[in-house]
Amino acid sequence: MCGIAGIAGFSGRVASLTNLEAMSDTLTHRGPDGAYADVSDGVGLAMRRLAIIDVQGGRQPYFNETRDVRVIFNGEIYNFRELRSSLEAKGHSFHSHTDGEVIPHLWEEYGEDFVRHLNGMFAIALHDARRQRLVLVRDRIGIKPLYYSICDSSVVFGSEIKAILASGLTERTLDVDALGQLMAWEYIPPPATLFRDIRKLASAEMLVVDLRSRRTAVRRYWDLPMDRSGTSEGQPNDARAWADRIESKIHEAVQRQMVSDVPLGAFLSGGVDSSLVASMMGDNAQAFSIGFDDPTYSEVQWARRVASHLGLRHRVDVIKPDIGSAFDTLMHHMDDPIGDFSIFPTWLVSRVARDSVTVVLSGDGGDEVFGGYETYVAQQASTYWRRIPRVLRDGLLAPAILGLRPTRAKKGLVNKARRFVEGAALPGELGHTRWRVFLTERQRETLFTPEALAIMPTPAGAHIQALAERAPCSDPVARGLYIDLNSYLPDNCLVKVDRMSMAVSLEARVPLLDHELVELAFRVPSALKVRRTATKILLKQITARRVPRDCVYRQKEGFSIPIKNWLCDELRPMMEDLLAPATIGAEGLFRPDAVERLKREHLAGRANHSHVLWTLMVFQDWRRRWAA
């Protein structure tokens, strides 16, 4: 695991070593165990290393035999031993026992198709000096990040935006259109970032730069191999056979990802996904959990039960969170911001784990691959909601439900009913993602100034519509999962895990997102994933083979915090400061009166505006920190 950065000059321009070292310095948290920065053939490459495999000998960069191909990368290649044996049989020689050294040799053998041979999580930068080519690659699922900026004189790239900013080669102009997406979804779909001149590779994308001609091309090198039905193998709807097959594949992925020369453990929330992963790690594995003093937001009792059943070495920290004191630290790692509240508990559990281990396995990805979200239930329920006569539905029921005061609890019937009605009113073509929209088109027109709206042409659902059209399946559940796998997962969930674990120099691996497992899982009939009010059906059946059934078949909680309550209490002074009317008015992006109305309604308990208010706070801090 590392942080990478680089500058590739066009037409013989030589990268500055001083700029390169400044970029590297911004990534120290991603790699405290070593550093490299050098300019060769006009191209500067830099990296910070977190030593995981071949601790003593696995230093980057990696070269081919003639040293005209140079590679730095962030992540892990889990099948490197098999690849190395195959390459040695073809005459290639190696100088270390680390995973990334296979990459330049694969490039020699297969060219741009080299990436198809890799099983892992990775962001790769490869410089071929002979061909004068720079290749940037992001892994199939988007587990590891990679940003770039194409300037007049060069291409600048890095694991984080702050590294690109440190180069001094790019402008800090705000992309207002991207801001509209952030407010709607709490994340920004690729290739956009909040900086107009900085882009990000999407999952499974490769950027190839010809440094002589300045030609650049981005292409997608992988997609899910499904037919239009989403069940390309035509397997019978046999739950037991599918459960056996998926369980075996998950076990294979977990064992593959336990390769490490440093201490390794697991996050354990007590939910289905993390419990299943932990159950496959073997006896006496280490697991880490956190709980909150608010019982409606804490699952620690379930984590303890699972750990006891599995015989894990289990560390639990039950805390009264102080997000105010942690806010500055968290926001430093949000240079590509998301509005997801759960960055805070993810950072906390990462801190707990880092005291004992350098690598953890996480259960992320189970919901997006196996159908775990309640939004799928809401989508099916919306069919019945639409059958209610409009005069009754829109004239009586919807206003009555929306008029209920939200409760302080995390979920509950009132909160769920209000959210369902809000989502059901949005365009049906958004599918289940309707319940992930936090700022509708109508609300956007109320919140933003006319000047901002004039330079915000992209509708909030544009990326969802594009993914729906690209999806290689017609089944509604399969199509929804495909959209999640290519949007919410890499652009929100995996951003959270990467930034918050790397903030404490911890490597987080996600075996449920092994691409071979994902390919197989997307062939599972949708009826074995979501049916009526049941979600994640097959994965729960598998998990119930390994942990107590009542730990599996219970209400899904999610990994969140009582932010809506904190905004009325300990976070209120910070909210008032960041969202002060004078500040909002001076920037010319948001209407001060609209922001004040959101605050008043939230503080009075008449509505839960926590998602919009928190995302506004995150953006305001981002603007002060990075765009000044």
- The answer to whether the beta carbons of residues 539 and 366 sit under 8 Å apart is yes
Characterize the bridge pairing of strands 154-158 and 147-150.
antiparallel
10 Å CB burial of residue 399 (0-12, 13-18, 19+) is exposed
Alpha-carbon distance 404 to 414, whole Å? 7
Cβ–Cβ under 8 Å, residues 44 and 23? no
Question: Contact 181/336 with Cβ under 8 angstroms?
Answer: no
Burial level of 459, CB count in 10 A (0-12/13-18/19+)?
Answer: middle
Q: What beta strand segments (E) does 159-263 contain? A: 199-200, 205-210, 216-220
Name the DSSP class of 627. Answer: I
CA–CA separation, 626 and 628 (whole Å): 6
Residues facing residue 56 across a β-bridge? none
The 10 Å Cβ neighbour count of residue 249 is 18
Residue 247: strand, helix, or coil: helix
d(CA 72, CA 61): 5
Cα(285)–Cα(312) distance, integer angstroms: 5
Phi, psi of 53 (to 5 degrees): -120, 135
The catalytic residue positions are 2
Tell me the sheet residues that pair with 452: none
**b/e map of 148-163 (b: 16 or more CB within 10 Å)?**
bbbbeebbbbbbbbbb
Task: Tell the burial category of 219 from Cβ atoms under 10 Å away from its Cβ (0-12, 13-18, 19+).
Answer: exposed
Q: Are strands 69-77 and 120-128 parallel, antiparallel or unpaired?
A: antiparallel
Q: Tell me which H or E stretch contains 130.
A: none
* Residue 379, Cβ density class (10 Å: 0-12 exposed, 13-18 middle, ≥19 buried): buried
